[in-house]
Structure 1
Amino acid sequence: MLRLTGVLFAIAANGLFATSDTLVKLLSLRYPIFQIIAMQAGVACIVVGIVIWRDKACRLSAVRNPKMLIGRGFLAGIGTVSGFYAFSLLPLADVYAITFGSPLVVTVAAAWLLGERTGPARWGAILVGFSGILIMVQPGYTALSLGHLAAFLNVFVGAGVILIMRTIGSQENRAIMVAAVMAGQLTASLPGMYLSHAPAWSDLGLVTLSGFVMVSAQFLMLEALRRAPASSVAPMQYTKLVWALPIGLFVFGDEPKPHVLAGAFVVIGSVLYLLAHGRRAENRMAQLRRSGAERVEPSVQPQCLEGKKLG
């Protein structure tokens, strides 16, 4: 039941992320992305401040991994700038489809940096996944725009975020982790704030809603990861494509591109295979640990009894 609740939270979080991204795309028609980031993060900081005060997590001693949190904030700043820029130039579905490649980069990075074993089957799935990205962008047939490059940058930033969250996700206070994201976004918005101008009164509601929805999605995703394993939560990011296709069509007039959808399904299939393969490996390791404990227990028990008699 707890796992199911976590999955439902993840679906809701990704729905809110898609809603926030839609509002960002609407605002990008009238404001520079740096100003949108600052306005959105400013609203979100109010919510985060309230949660930190309620959780009594404002003490420095509440931070257990300061360097990792700074890295999380740094990546959040870069990822938000690149993501918002990609949204301003490309359809939502195109950006989502490209960024679905982040788990593939995580698998490669884990093999090289963390020494995780990656067999031929997993390497094959990784190559298939990257071929799906090539199907989406069609190099040589369509010109790559700065929006595509920004989306590709987001792939690597997303991979870095996943690796950090795998390390500290269960150790840090949820409000502290979201605060690191907000701090990174505000810092990233500073270089371009000279381009900003006073928002129209009619847009203040969109700005407020965007910030509130975004920070709510952050908290929901953290809660999902606490209730269910990452292998169950991660695939739920693909539900964003379900939201992006009708939003793109009916709100922005972006018709779905067959090659983007085909490539997206190839990437999704390869990532799901990697997740299933990893889950089977974890189950095998757990069974080996249990069988090893059962073999050791009979030989250990008499020694414990003998020790009690001698004492």
Structure 2
Amino acid sequence: MTAITTATDSRLGILLMLGGMTFFTLNDALGKWLVAEYPVAMLLAVRSLFGMAVLLPMILREGVRTVFAVKRLPVHLVRVVLVTVDIACFYWAVGYLPLADVMTIYMSAPLIVTALSVLFLGETVGWRRWVAVLVGFAGVVVVLNPTGGFDLVPSLVALLGATIFASGLIFTRLLREAGTLPLVTYQTLGGLALGGAALPFSWTAPGVLDFLLLGLLGVTALAGHAMINRSLQLSPAAVVVPFQYVSILWAVLLDLAVWGTEPSLRMGIGGVLIIGSGLFIFHREQRLKRGSAAGAASDHV
């Protein structure tokens, strides 16, 4: 019965990750559009404000004390800072680089998760997966294009954001016993607090359309965070995280449709290396899991 439940949870976790990354790509495209006119701090604060407006009825229904009285509060706070800084890095980088390029750099996060899982989750990673991680990072180097003309600072900020994003995923996995609502509430309040602190120095009055787009930014981010958090609660990070790659497809299509930017050859080559490495890691994890399950079953025969 346990094996059936686990398989069902894994499938649901994968579907939630796909849905969450679709919402996130829409959010990222909106952020790229808006960051051309408004500062990053304002995007963080206003999107979090709209997110809290959506969350408030759920918090009241669940009970304020239930939502905020979490175990391991310091771990929650570290996760909040990681998630908020990651968002700020992404919005800043995407203001200077094509959306698909930044998304491709961010897709190194599953490789970073694999490396960090050894330290934080106590997982064992064999030599094949380490080789895959190295190949994936070679893909990141290709996307960054260090020997050619590239925008150094935004590219490095995107890579820093990807590392922080991966760390946030690890902390989400560490807090898998916490409910989805507390996780989303804390990270939304974190964005509101950190963005709001800089708001008096960066406020720009938006028009009606932009104000609605800022609100949509908050709703899509909230939906994406909720789906990804639930996905990581249902399934191991190594199983669901590789399915973030769907966001590269959406990013390429949005770059073409909205900004008329075609994907570069280096982005394509680097993306293939990154995605291929991540999918190999996913395949290896599944194979090892099946082997462990078969060994456990034979022990009971």
2:126 maps to amino acid: G
Which moved further from structure 2: 45-54 or 264-273?
A: 45-54
Identity over aligned pairs, percent: 27
**2:90 alignment partner in structure 1:** 83
Change (3 A) 1:77 1:30: same
Runs of 4+ with deviation above 6 angstroms: none
**1:176 alignment partner in structure 2:** 182
Change (3 A) 1:59 1:6: closer
Distance across 2 between alignment mates of 1:256 and 1:65: 43
Residue from 73, 81, 89 that aligns with 1:66: 73
Residue from 151, 155, 158 that aligns with 2:162: 155
Residue from 153, 176, 192 that aligns with 1:186: 192
Deviation at 1:225, TM superposition (A): 3.8
Count residues in correspondence: 293
Residue from 101, 113, 120 that aligns with 1:106: 113
Deviation at 1:115, TM superposition (A): 4.6
Deviation at 1:57, TM superposition (A): 5.1
2:192 maps to amino acid: L
Distance across 2 between alignment mates of 1:9 and 1:159: 18
Which moved further from structure 2: 227-236 or 31-40?
A: 227-236
TM-score, normalising length: structure 2:
0.90
**1:40 alignment partner in structure 2:** 47
Deviation at 1:58, TM superposition (A): 3.2
1:172 maps to amino acid: A
Over residues 227-250 of structure 1, what are the superposed CA-to-partner deviations in whole Å (9 max), with x where a residue is unaligned? 555444222211111111121112
Residue from 54, 58, 62 that aligns with 1:55: 62
2:70 maps to amino acid: V
Distance across 2 between alignment mates of 1:109 and 1:216: 26
Aligned partners of 1:87 and 1:95 also within 8 Å: yes
Which consecutive residues of structure 2, in runs of 5 or more, have no partner in the other structure?
1-7
The secondary structure found in structure 2 opposite 1:89 is coil
**2:246 alignment partner in structure 1:** 239
**2:290 alignment partner in structure 1:** 283
Change (3 A) 1:220 1:109: closer
Deviation at 1:86, TM superposition (A): 1.0
1:289 maps to amino acid: A
**1:304 alignment partner in structure 2:** none
Q: Does 1:206 align with 2:213?
A: yes
Aligned partners of 2:68 and 2:182 also within 8 Å: no
Deviation at 1:157, TM superposition (A): 0.6
Aligned partners of 1:224 and 1:233 also within 8 Å: yes
1:175 maps to amino acid: L
Deviation at 1:223, TM superposition (A): 3.4
Aligned partners of 2:136 and 2:278 also within 8 Å: yes
**2:5 alignment partner in structure 1:** none
Change (3 A) 1:254 1:157: same
Aligned partners of 2:18 and 2:246 also within 8 Å: yes
1:63 maps to amino acid: V
The secondary structure found in structure 2 opposite 1:80 is helix
TM-score, normalising length: structure 1:
0.87
Change (3 A) 1:44 1:97: same
Q: Which has the larger radius of gyration?
A: 1
Change (3 A) 1:24 1:10: same
CA RMSD, 1 decimal? 2.1
Residue from 148, 152, 162 that aligns with 1:141: 148
**1:274 alignment partner in structure 2:** 281
Distance across 2 between alignment mates of 1:86 and 1:191: 21
Aligned partners of 1:62 and 1:173 also within 8 Å: no
2:62 maps to amino acid: D
Distance across 2 between alignment mates of 1:257 and 1:282: 37
Residue from 249, 266, 285 that aligns with 1:259: 266
Aligned partners of 2:51 and 2:188 also within 8 Å: yes
**2:127 alignment partner in structure 1:** 120
**1:15 alignment partner in structure 2:** 22
Change (3 A) 1:61 1:237: closer
